[in-house]
Amino acid sequence: MLGGSITVPASPCSHAPARSVSPWVGGAGTAGAVAVVGAGKMGLPLAAQFASHGWNVTAVDINPAVVDAINAGQSHVGEEPGLAELVARVHAEGRLHATTDAAAAARASDVVVLIVPVMLDEDHKPDYRYMDPAVASITPGIHEGITVVFETTLPIGDTRRRFAPALEAESGLKAGSDFFVAFSPERLFSGAVLANLAAYPKLVGGIGAASTDRAAAFYASVLDAEVVAMSSSEAAEFSKLADTTYRDVNIALANEFAQAADLWGVDVQEVIAAANSQPYSHIHQPGIGVGGHCIPVYPHLLLSRAPGLRLVETAREVNDGQTGRALAALSGLLGGLSGAPVLVLGITYREGVKELAYSRAIPLIAALRETGADVAAYDPLLDDAEIGRLGATPWHWGDPGPFRAVITQTGDRRFLALDPAWFPDLAVVYDGRNSLRMLALPQGVTYLGVGVQAATRARPA
């Protein structure tokens, strides 16, 4: 039991073939034309899903290579089971094509779904460098009856206050009555997107009842999972921030439990599994840090609209402090890190997903370099140039090396095949995801987990 996760069963598709209509006005059993703006890791699977339910889909992207790939029937998104086949099929059936012309796509569509990133600037404030131009690009195509849905995670209030007025500006039409605007959070997990689409309830909140109804009708026609109509766009925006911030705070708590477990020489994973046998306990797992462009980002989007939430702020500090704690532990064991050859394994924010956004490996490598350590790194998903750009020397799996310390930053199962004989000077393995507890280490090599110690790790997790 690893922390309160539940399995939502996939719903088999029970839609009869849809009847194509124009304009589409929300009728059951009908399909129209939809534009998906931002055909990236989330947008492309959405586009393919919509097309597989009878909609005519235009994928809009500013990257011509993305547009060309889709127009050739190819998925440019790797590591997503079933996506390449689905893109090829719906493209061959003539229901998916791509363009860079957002205004024309919106003009020809009944529904526009926006799924371009909103990120953070250097002060942890929302950075709209992609979303504002995306909204501006569809604005000339706004017409009576169109439904615009934001799936990108947004700060509370943005759908109504920032974007609905921007969409109204050129057309002179009134959002909420002449056309419809809603928020529907994208909650999918990279690597399982198509399976999640069939299982996760779809939350929909409009800027008014008419917008909620029209957007909910759209999702009911393209998704097999339950569609949940919410009372407002703000409630829907908040729900995504609440879900992700909860996870960040939960992990911070697990990280503090790990510190207490180290203090007492107790295995934190044993403690968490036992605690979670109580059905109301859902403690997550500790680790060397929280990365990716979701969990570390969204608490800041919440704080941008609700400043001073102390638990939320503290959780961010605790989780970002995990790399410093790892280095302090290593430095203590090695008598300082200056000049020490150190190997970091797992550089993407998590195993199996080629995404470096907010990966904790980046500050980890930077901090190691600051101490004067000689840093090498390896990730099965990155090439030498990508590793080199992060300031580390590429290491190749199986090469001998002078490393005194190995740190894992992802829980990739293949790291269990590491052979300590490759590194004759190895003194310590820092297991940043507690995934190497079964790794055999020769005498004289110290194992350090996050709340798991050399003496307790032999117990299977």
Ligand X SMILES: NC(=O)c1ccc[n+]([C@@H]2O[C@H](COP(=O)([O-])OP(=O)(O)OC[C@H]3O[C@@H](n4cnc5c(N)ncnc54)[C@H](O)[C@@H]3O)[C@@H](O)[C@H]2O)c1
Contact residues for ligand X, defined by CB under 6 A: 37-43, 60-63, 66, 102, 115-118, 130, 133-134, 137, 152-153, 186-188, 190, 294
β-pairing, 96-99 vs 111-114, is: unpaired
Q: How far apart are CA 216 and CA 202, in angstroms?
A: 9
88/103 with CB nearer ligand X: 103
β-pairing, 119-120 vs 111-114, is: unpaired
Q: How far apart are CA 439 and CA 275, in angstroms?
A: 26
60/405 with CB nearer ligand X: 60
Indicate if 13 belongs to the active site: no
Q: How far apart are CA 179 and CA 168, in angstroms?
A: 9
Catalytic residue among 13, 125, 202, 240: 240
Q: How far is the CB of 291 from ligand X (least distance, A)?
A: 11
Catalytic residue among 125, 202, 294, 354: 294
Q: How far is the CB of 138 from ligand X (least distance, A)?
A: 9
32/43 with CB nearer ligand X: 43
Q: How far apart are CA 272 and CA 252, in angstroms?
A: 13
In this structure, the chain runs to a length of 461
Only one residue has tokens 């059936």, namely: 93
33/35 with CB nearer ligand X: 35
Neighbours of 324 (CB within 10 A): 13
Q: Which residue is nearest to ligand X (CB)?
A: 40
Indicate if 294 belongs to the active site: yes
250/371 with CB nearer ligand X: 250
Q: How far is the CB of 67 from ligand X (least distance, A)?
A: 9
The helix-helix angle for 310-320 and 233-264 (nearest 10°) equals: 50
Q: How far apart are CA 361 and CA 291, in angstroms?
A: 9
Nearest to 147 by CA among 74, 225, 243, 55: 55
3-state secondary structure of 414: helix
For CA atoms 338, 339, 341, 346, the dihedral sign is positive
43/449 with CB nearer ligand X: 43
β-pairing, 126-127 vs 119-120, is: antiparallel
71/393 with CB nearer ligand X: 71
Backbone angles phi, psi at 181, to 5 degrees: -135, 130
Q: How far is the CB of 433 from ligand X (least distance, A)?
A: 18
Helices (H), 227-345: 233-264, 268-275, 298-305, 310-320, 322-334
Q: In sequence order, what DSSP letters do the residues of 52-68 get, joined into one string?
A: HTT-EEEEE-S-HHHHH
Q: How far is the CB of 137 from ligand X (least distance, A)?
A: 6
Q: How far is the CB of 297 from ligand X (least distance, A)?
A: 8
Q: How far apart are CA 177 and CA 175, in angstroms?
A: 6
Q: How far is the CB of 316 from ligand X (least distance, A)?
A: 18
By annotation, the residues acting in catalysis are 240, 294
